[in-house]
Amino acid sequence: MPSTLAPAHWTPDRIGDLRDRVALVTGGNSGIGLEAARVLTRHGARVLLAGRSQEKLDEAVATLRADQPTARLDTIVLDLGCLASIAETSARLADTETIDLLFNNAGVMNVPERRTTSDGFELTVGTNHLGHFALTAGLLPALRRAEAARVVTVSAIAATWRSGRLDDLMSLRRYGGMSAYAKSKRANVVFTQELSRRLAGTALRAVSVHPGSAVTNLQRHSEGVLSRAMIAVLRNVAMGSPEGAAWPSLYVATSPEVISGAFYGPAGRDQTSGTPKPVKLPRGADDPAEGARLWAESERLTGVTFAL
Ligand SMILES: NC(=O)c1ccc[n+]([C@@H]2O[C@H](COP(=O)([O-])OP(=O)(O)OC[C@H]3O[C@@H](n4cnc5c(N)ncnc54)[C@H](OP(=O)(O)O)[C@@H]3O)[C@@H](O)[C@H]2O)c1
């Protein structure tokens, strides 16, 4: 059995030749997803860049091609807050693609007032968790076609917060922007744990990561709470770069020693940046009873089931 220990000084330079791999990156037009896509294309992977706006995707492709003129890129317009969009994308790709690496990366954070997706789900959990739950289920045939696919779900240190308890998943009793985010990020880890248990005995691996912290568009709703000046200060003293924040995802997607179900994050001070390593799971996130409850609730809400 391989070790879960990461090499002491892993950097993306260690990634080998990915010319035979296809990766789908949600939220690929911005921040951490864009940086992950940049590294994947540099190593030869074909990247399906998924985002909700064709215009933003085109800009991202231009940025990536400026860096890597031969980058193999396709764009996919996908709204994770819309089950019909997810079903349409999944149906199209499930029949035509082999997907080796699925990066469930897109996300929203700290939406100030309770808002809902087009299907009526609380926006943050609806996008960050339910959208990726439905997408992963829909892409299972494409993932199964690969020799040893990996599902990488991007969580956050917020998954460890007490406010992230998964009762009141839709924040119907009480809403807070950051508690909805914490719920969605705990759900990312609990989902990965349960998926990994359900995939046991297959070649598919499911891993969750937290990227540390980086100033990206994720903080857009936090302006006012965090002023632009404060964000600039944080950028310098406390937060890493989006490039570095992509390392945990890239590491778990490409390194042979990665174990299904584990949770990885940066090894640096306060886990904000640095070499990826296995980190402690949020308390209770490996409880099979919690995994089964979240799975059943996610199936009930989305009407989507996994053909496992
Ligand atoms: N940055 C950090 O410090 C940090 C820390 C912990 C965890 N994370 C996690 O890292 C992941 C990436 O975040 P980031 O920091 O790179 O933020 P970002 O720059 O805001 O990127 C988020 C991406 O998600 C996309 N997205 C949002 N709602 C969507 C929807 N309904 N359908 C499809 N795509 C949607 C955004 O699209 P648009 O461009 O159209 O909005 C954007 O491409 C998130 O899961 C986040 O929770 C980030």
Checking if the pLDDT of 92 tops 80, the result is: yes
Q: How far is residue 197's CA from residue 85's CA, in Å, rounded to a whole number?
A: 28
Q: Is the model more confident about 6 or about 24?
A: 24
SS (H, E, C) 202-235: CCCEEEEECCCCECCHHHHHHECCECHHHHHHHH
User: Is 10 part of a structural domain of the chain?
Assistant: no
Q: Which domain holds residue 71?
A: 16-301
User: Is 86 part of a structural domain of the chain?
Assistant: yes
Indicate left, alpha or beta for 162 from its phi (over 0: left) and psi (-120 to 50: alpha): alpha
**Interval between CA 49 and ligand 1 midpoint (Å):** 13
Q: pLDDT at position 270, please?
A: 75
Residue 22 bridge partners (DSSP): 46
User: Is 308 part of a structural domain of the chain?
Assistant: no
Checking if the pLDDT of 1 tops 60, the result is: no
Instruction: Indicate whether residue 153 lines ligand 1 (CB < 6 A).
Output: no
Instruction: Indicate whether residue 218 lines ligand 1 (CB < 6 A).
Output: yes
CA 44, chain centre distance (Å): 21
The pLDDT > 90 percentage for the chain reads 83
Cβ atoms of 207 and 150 within 8 Å: the answer is yes
User: Is 249 part of a structural domain of the chain?
Assistant: yes
pLDDT mean over 280-305: 98
Query: pLDDT category, 295, cuts 50, 70, 90?
Result: very high
Checking if the pLDDT of 283 tops 60, the result is: yes
Q: List the alpha helices (DSSP H) in the chain.
A: 31-42, 54-67, 83-96, 123-125, 132-145, 177-198, 228-237, 242-245, 247-254, 288-302
* Mean pLDDT over the full length of the chain: 93
pLDDT mean over 187-213: 97
Neighbours of 94 (CB within 10 A): 17
CATH code at 288? 3.40.50.720
Q: pLDDT at position 200, please?
A: 96
Cβ atoms of 192 and 261 within 8 Å: the answer is yes
pLDDT mean over 97-101: 98
User: Is 107 part of a structural domain of the chain?
Assistant: yes
Instruction: Indicate whether residue 136 lines ligand 1 (CB < 6 A).
Output: no
**Interval between CA 149 and ligand 1 midpoint (Å):** 23
Provide the sign of the torsion angle of the four alpha carbons 295, 128, 260, 134, taken in this order: positive
User: Is 2 part of a structural domain of the chain?
Assistant: no
**Interval between CA 109 and ligand 1 midpoint (Å):** 8
User: Is 3 part of a structural domain of the chain?
Assistant: no
Residues marked active site are found at: 181
Instruction: Indicate whether residue 123 lines ligand 1 (CB < 6 A).
Output: no
Checking if the pLDDT of 203 tops 90, the result is: yes
Q: Is the model more confident about 50 or about 5?
A: 50
Q: How far is residue 188's CA from residue 292's CA, in Å, rounded to a whole number?
A: 14
**Interval between CA 3 and ligand 1 midpoint (Å):** 31
Q: Which of 25, 26, 29, 32 to mutate to test the pocket of ligand 1 (most atoms within 8 A of CB)?
A: 32
pLDDT mean over 106-129: 97
Q: Which of 29, 215, 217 to mutate to test the pocket of ligand 1 (most atoms within 8 A of CB)?
A: 217
Checking if the pLDDT of 156 tops 90, the result is: yes
Please tell me the total count of domains within the chain. 1
Query: pLDDT category, 231, cuts 50, 70, 90?
Result: low
User: Is 4 part of a structural domain of the chain?
Assistant: no
Instruction: Indicate whether residue 135 lines ligand 1 (CB < 6 A).
Output: no
